[in-house]
Structure 1
Amino acid sequence: MVAGLSLPRIVRVGRGAAEELGDVVAGLGLSRPLLVTDAFLVGTGAAERLTATLLRAGLSPRLFSDTVPDPTTDSLAPGLTALHDHGADSVIGFGGGSPMDSAKALALLGARGGRMRDYKAPYVNRGPALPVIAVPTTAGSGSEATQVTVITDSRTDEKMLCMGPAFLPLAAVVDAELTMSMPPRLTADTGIDALTHAVEAYVSRKANPFTDGLALAAIATIGRHLRRAYADGSDIGAREAMMLAATQAGMAFSNSSVALVHGMSRPIGAHFHVAHGLSNAMLFPAVTAFSVHAAPGRYADCARALGAATATDSEETAAAKLVDALRELCHDLAVPTPRAHGIDPDAWTRLTPLMAEQALGSGSPANNPVVPTADQIHDLYARIYA
């Protein structure tokens, strides 16, 4: 099998790496970046500090901080205006998954025009697009290393998966010090998101030897450090480990694929405005339990990497232990059910058929060890609600 691999050209990893952002951008021959972030990072002063590194490198940056959680086609409009007004030659995504998704979308629209709906899966976006430099502030999405962005259609509430090399950052600056202010809930949700990326990349029908190594390394690191980071946000060792694992998991799934958890997660986020990592966490144990019988060896490898099973366990026993370990992890990290999160049961039931249709339409479930029917997805949604 020949695997086609796509990775950022430049990756700077380590504490203090953000201070080198200006040198990275200048070294790429760019001079007028649009820094895309959110109001929270402006409020903490982090956006100002990052802007200062760009100015010290002799660059002419402009700040756009009006991104929203789970970005929409409507929320991109003012960013596109800012990009054109500035004459930007590049886009810096600074923040969690939402600023990163916004930055990638703006880079494509700024160069190509059109609507995001024109670029959704299964269409493969090869460009042109403005160069993207990614600076993550959460250890979860892995967006700094992926050729994926997710934008919600404001008209239909469809969470559109958009894929292709055009969305791959040219450079990534990964600095664990930027994650120190993450509260426990965000630490938990983004950490489980990274674990989902790694497990799905490993069990995906598109997995390959390159992504296997990255996925298993990420799973092992998350197994050792996620609870530590959740319990003590000042544990810089745990933060640094989780940041590296999130980037490894992003590289893994971007070069294989995600599967059923992500396919079912996106509609929950779109219709009920649940954060992406949290909706993944709600689904993860039940979807894994549904899938393990089709690839017990692959799931057993994940269990052993996570520290949930031993080499002496049979494949079936180890795979079952993975499901138990995921349930225990979600319990320890206080992951709520959709019901406990406050989602109305009537709305959930009414929208379940549409969510099942949208999950299948995204293409991700086709990569799952068990390719589900719409009825099976419907049943899984009902099962995880309570």
Structure 2
Amino acid sequence: MRTMQFAIRPMIHDYDTFAAFEDAHVVGPRDLIFTQRILYKTFFSHTQAQTLFYDDFCDGEPTDIAVDAMLIDVRSRDFDRLIAIGGGSILDCAKVLALNSNESVDSLFAQGVQPRRKVELILSPTTCGTGSEVTCVSVFDFPETGSKMGKGFDAGFADHAVLIDEFLSKIPYQVFATSSADALVHALEIYLAPKANAYTDVFCLAAVQTILRGYKRMTELGPSVIREDAKAYLAASNMAGIALANILAGGVHAIAMHFGSEHHVPHGEVTRLFLPPVFKIYYEKAPNGKIADIANLIEEILGPCDPGCTPFDVLDELLAKVVPTRRLSEYGMDAGDANRYADKVIETQQRLLVNNYTPLSKTDIVQVYSQLM
């Protein structure tokens, strides 16, 4: 018997500026802001809150080793509220930093380990992609095992998710492009997930429509319209995140997790990279299911596809203008790696593979790699 449940955990707020947020939430010396130095200098260097800088520990996506060092620092401090301001990596780290535990990341990621939270948690995204501010999942790279893994913590949901338009005013284009592409992939994958429901469908379709229309507008008018559309992109990312908090992503993310870890490719870039070939396999295997809704929506917004092509070729053409990618060989993958990579995906990413629209065999995964070589 199929059951359904749906929840929106954090209270969601929207402010034009950091100053408005700071006033509304009375930010002060008993708060610890976890962020990057450039964000601190640009938007809130005047704050009276304590600060902890991600860049003092990590210069890329977070590893278990870097987060262990953050935990040592945080456990030596006295504060009541953790306010994380940054991209998905920072927000993912904050969920673990707020836990009431003396364990290492490796121990925290062990099955069945679910500590409580020790401080109030506020998450504020400065990108428009991961939706991490409304999920309980933390994703870290584990170099020793050669894989990227995620875990949901029951206490990982923030008390407040805060969307601040001002943070997108100075976002570098590449960060905008890769993060918003990840939001698009979240929405598309979760809409097709076997456990999707009427509520996640609403959030996913709204996110897909907003992002595709935004991308089309940007390719026609130029990147300057990103600032004008900031509120819409933040909302779309947040909606995709709400869906993600209820249902995990699927095969695109499963394949991307391993490849991104192996070749140090930004997460949004690598999910965008694998989206078209995976969805083409889905479309070939089950064209009359829910993927037909997505195909129709793509053609409605982007225009009909040419004979011999699919709507996902049209989507790929648009994405190539927004988030250019390279062939897998240019990232450093050898043709002979495909079988080994497919085995690693199947071994380490079952929590995502079970959410596929249609099952992906090892042969399918190898085909995805081969198409992109």
Q: Which amino acid aligns with 2:345?
A: A
In 1: Cα distance, 2:356 partner to 2:180 partner: 21
SS in 2 for 1:135: strand
Residue 143 (structure 1) aligned with residue 132 (structure 2)? yes
What is the identity, as a one-letter code, of the residue corresponding to 2:13?
A: R
Q: Which of residues 274, 280, 283 is equivalent to 1:289?
A: 280
Deviations 1:332-356 (A, max 9, x none): 2242134375324268558524532
Q: Give matches, 1:28-39, under 5 Å.
A: 32-39=30-37
Check if 1:5 corresponds to 2:6.
Answer: yes
Q: Offset at 1:131?
A: 3.0
Percent identical across equivalent pairs?
Answer: 25
**Secondary structure in structure 1 of the residue aligned to 2:253:** helix
Q: What is the rounded CA distance, in whole Å, between the counterparts of 2:113 and 2:198 in structure 1? A: 23
SS, match of residue 48 in structure 1:
coil
User: SS state of the match for residue 296, structure 1?
Assistant: coil
In 2 relative to 1, CA 129–204 (structure 1 residues): closer, same or farther, beyond 3 Å?
farther
Q: How far apart are residue 358 of structure 1 and its match?
A: 4.3
- Higher deviation after alignment, 69-78 or 116-125: 116-125
| Worse overlay, 271-280 or 92-101 | 92-101
Distance 1:246 1:140 in 2: 5
Amino acid at match of 1:299: I
- Would you say the 8 A contact 2:168–2:227 is kept in 1? no
User: Is the CA contact (8 Å cut-off) linking 2:139 and 2:148 kept in structure 1?
Assistant: yes
Q: Distance in 2 between matches of 1:302 and 1:350?
A: 30
TM-score (norm 1): 0.84
How many angstroms apart in 1 are the aligned matches of 2:347 and 2:269? Answer: 19
How is 1:192-211 mapped onto 2 (pairs within 5 angstroms)? 192-211=181-200
Letter in 1 for 2:360: P
Question: Quick one: structure 1 residues 340 and 178, their matched pair in 2 at CA, closer, same or farther if it must change by over 3 Å?
Answer: farther
Query: Is the counterpart of residue 383 in structure 1 residue 371 in structure 2?
Result: yes
Per the alignment, in what secondary structure is the counterpart of residue 45 of structure 1?
helix
Q: Does 1:83 align with 2:74?
A: yes
1:48 to 26, 45, 49: 45
Distance 2:236 2:299 in 1: 15
After superposition, where does 1:82-101 map in structure 2 within 5 Å? 82-101=73-92
Specify every segment of 5 or more residues in structure 2 that has no aligned partner in the other structure, as ranges: none
Contact 2:178 2:323 in 1 (8 A): no
1:104-143 alignment to 2 at 5 Å?
Answer: 104-108=95-99, 111-120=100-109, 123=112, 125=114, 127-128=116-117, 130-143=119-132
Deviations 1:3-52 (A, max 9, x none): 33332432112422x3243355559xx9733222224424x523525xx2
1:262 alignment partner in structure 2:
253
4+ runs of 1 displaced by more than 6 Å? none
From the superposition, tell whether residues 38 and 379 of structure 1 become closer, same or farther in structure 2 (CA, over 3 Å).
same
What is the CA deviation profile of residues 53-100 of structure 1, one whole-angstrom value per residue up to 9, with x for unaligned ones? xx3xxxx43333334422011111332122122223332221111111
1:321 CA drift (Å): 4.2
Q: Is the 8 A contact 1:145 1:172 kept in 2?
A: yes
Encode CA deviations 1:271-315: one digit per residue, 9 max, x unaligned.
1111000000110000111112336331222234445479xx9xx
Relative distance call for 1:192 and 1:102 in structure 2 (3 A) is same
CA–CA distance in structure 1, aligned partners of residues 244 and 300 of structure 2: 22
**Number of residue pairs matched?**
365
Supply the RMSD in Å over aligned alpha carbons: 3.0
Distance in 1 (CA, whole Å) between partners of 2:170 and 2:206 is 25
For 1:188 and 1:71, the matched residues in 2 are separated by: 20
Question: 3-state DSSP class of the match of 2:84?
Answer: strand
1:160 partner SS: strand
2:359 to 347, 354, 371: 371
State whether residues 139 and 194 of structure 1, in contact with CA within 8 Å, keep that contact through their aligned partners in structure 2.
yes
* 8 Å Cα contact 1:222/1:245 also seen in 2: yes
Amino acid at match of 1:300: A
